Chain A
Amino acid sequence: MNAIAIQGLVKRYGAHTIFDGLDLDVAHGERLAVLGASGCGKSTLLRCIAGLESSDGGEIDVAGEIGYVFQEPRLFGWLDVERNVAFAARNSAERARVPEVLALVGLTAARAKLPKHLSGGMAQRTALARALVRKPEVLLFDEPLAALDALTRLELRASLREILIQAGATAVWVTHDVDDALTLATRTIVLQRAPNFVRAVEPAVGIDVGARRALLAALGISA
């Protein structure tokens, strides 16, 4: 039984077809990176999985709860870090997990800060903590590092790897950054724009010297 099973997904925006029968399975505990150029439908795929967009055909099955981390932190400006995280809690058991999750993302000392006083990296850590509070089976990431400066991105990428491994959740990570895929994923697919729709290809890459080159090649970049 897979954590995510997508069969024959069809998605159109007006006359424009994004997906025309996309199949994708994500196994339990797998960390899947979805690579692709800007505007190829990566975010749309994620939004379909989360139910933020309706599909025009096909089936999407998600086993269990979803946690979603957007490109921007999307924090509630009137709540401090701790309350932003607790926003996701539905019961006392989940509320009791808030300190633990804050410690996991390294924000215990900043828990009383308002979002306007947070750096970009801290804000994104808060968003991650909010997504982790319910212990979701599936975590969806929509380029959560894209808006950060280079140094913060490296730092957060490293700690995210640790956090994801610790949480043991299934993760789908949408990105246009090959290094994200190489660092964080156990498996990588590349979305390519075919003439009329987007298809998913899976370059045969392991974590080796050729991996980066193979992924870049699949993206259509010669390196």
Chain B
Amino acid sequence: MRFFVPIALLVAWFAATSTGAIKSYQLASPQAVLVELNDLASHGLLWTDLGASVERVAIGFALAALLAIILGSLVGASRTAEKLLDPTLQAVRSVPSLAWVPLLLLWLGIGETAKIALVAIGAFFPVYVALASAIRNVDRKLVEVARVLGVGGVPFIARVLLPAALPQLLVGLRIGLTQAWLFLVAAELLGASSGLGFLLTDGQQIARTDEILVAILAFAICGKLSESGMRLLERRLVGWTDTVVPG
């Protein structure tokens, strides 16, 4: 059942391109995409671009997650930190993140740093917001158990707050990773000499829809793989929860 629509679309695509109803500069045929995929892969270009993109996402996401976990824990656990930091961070969050692009380009140029910074901006907020609210909303009743037992300070954070907040943190990380890919495309469209986004613009400039479709396919696979990886991690780490965490 679930494969019916995709197969129907594929057949329609094949029919429309092979009968000449749609020209190849408008939409390449499925077989042309396969040939291009093979071509790019065998010349190693696909792996170079894929590697460049994955590296940017990995570094940007890791930086964002680290910063978001530190700031989210602080703001969630301490009223003072919340008053001090949260209003500012919420104000920054209300700016559509792509609006930072011109500033980033001016400050950091069009090199790797600007791209990684943009990816990090995109990934930061879902993680930060999820963790801060999860820690703030940890069951007061569990907090009292720790208090009665005299468990406080760092042991309290490590043994009670963080494990209790872990399910929402993982959801935040999953959404953050999706955002990271989204912002990577934006960053690479703005000017890059490598990466899957570069394949997109390159394909556009030389009117090669097969190249564009290969890049889109690669993005789809990367997105799906990272999402599945995060869900696997969730199942492994927070199988103890009574209910499936929404999101």
Contacts A87-B149, A87-B159, A88-B149 known; list 14 others, CB within 8 Å.
A52-B148, A66-B148, A68-B148, A70-B141, A70-B144, A74-B141, A74-B142, A74-B145, A76-B145, A76-B160, A76-B164, A87-B151, A114-B240, A116-B241
Instruction: For A68, list chain B residues within 8 Å (CB).
Output: 145, 148
By size class, the interface of chain B is 10 to 19
Residues of A52-77 contacting chain B, CB below 8 A: 52, 66, 68, 70, 72, 74, 76-77
> Which residue numbers of B lie inside 8 Å of A, CB to CB?
141-142, 144-145, 147-149, 151, 159-160, 163-164, 166, 238, 240-242
> Is A77 in contact with B241, judged by CB distance below 8 angstroms?
yes
User: Do most interface residues of chain A lie in helix, strand or loop, or is the interface mixed?
Assistant: loop
Interface membership of A78, Cβ < 8 A: yes
Contact with B along A33-57 (1 / 0, CB 8 A): 0000000000000000011100000
Instruction: For B240, list chain A residues within 8 Å (CB).
Output: 77-78, 114-116
Instruction: For A114, list chain B residues within 8 Å (CB).
Output: 240
Instruction: For B159, list chain A residues within 8 Å (CB).
Output: 87
Please name 18 pairs of A and B residues whose Cβ atoms are closer than 8 Å in the assembled complex, sorted by A: A52-B144, A52-B148, A66-B148, A68-B148, A70-B141, A70-B144, A74-B141, A74-B145, A76-B142, A76-B145, A76-B164, A77-B164, A77-B240, A78-B166, A78-B238, A87-B149, A87-B159, A116-B242
How many A residues have CB within 8 A of the partner chain? 16
A74 CA to B241 CA, complexed, in Å: 14
> Is A78 in contact with B145, judged by CB distance below 8 angstroms?
no
Instruction: For B166, list chain A residues within 8 Å (CB).
Output: 78
- If A116-B240, A116-B242 touch, whether A74 touches B149 (CB-CB below 8 Å) is no
Q: How far is the CB of B161 from chain A (nearest CB, A)?
A: 11
> Is A50 in contact with B242, judged by CB distance below 8 angstroms?
no
A70 CA to B242 CA, complexed, in Å: 21
From the candidates A66, A70, A116, name the one contacting B145 in the complex (CB within 8 A): A70
A89 CA to B147 CA, complexed, in Å: 14
> Is B141 in contact with A72, judged by CB distance below 8 angstroms?
yes
Q: How far is the CB of B234 from chain A (nearest CB, A)?
A: 13
A78 CA to B167 CA, complexed, in Å: 10
Instruction: For B141, list chain A residues within 8 Å (CB).
Output: 70, 72, 74
Instruction: For A50, list chain B residues within 8 Å (CB).
Output: 148
A76 CA to B160 CA, complexed, in Å: 8
Of B142, B148, B166, the most chain A CB neighbours within 10 A belong to: B148
Instruction: For A52, list chain B residues within 8 Å (CB).
Output: 144, 147-148
A70 CA to B143 CA, complexed, in Å: 13
Instruction: For A77, list chain B residues within 8 Å (CB).
Output: 164, 240-242
From the candidates B144, B163, B242, name the one contacting A76 in the complex (CB within 8 A): B163
A78 CA to B242 CA, complexed, in Å: 10
Instruction: For A72, list chain B residues within 8 Å (CB).
Output: 141
- B146 nearest in chain A by CB position: A87
Instruction: For A88, list chain B residues within 8 Å (CB).
Output: 149
> Is A74 in contact with B242, judged by CB distance below 8 angstroms?
no
In the complex, the 4 A-B pairs of residues with the closest C-beta atoms, listed nearest first: A68-B148, A78-B240, A78-B163, A116-B242
Contact with B along A86-130 (1 / 0, CB 8 A): 011000000000000000000000000011100000000000000
Instruction: For A66, list chain B residues within 8 Å (CB).
Output: 148
Q: How far is the CB of B141 from chain A (nearest CB, A)?
A: 5
Instruction: For B148, list chain A residues within 8 Å (CB).
Output: 50-52, 66, 68
A93 CA to B238 CA, complexed, in Å: 30
A181 CA to B89 CA, complexed, in Å: 55
Of A66, A76, A116, the most chain B CB neighbours within 10 A belong to: A76
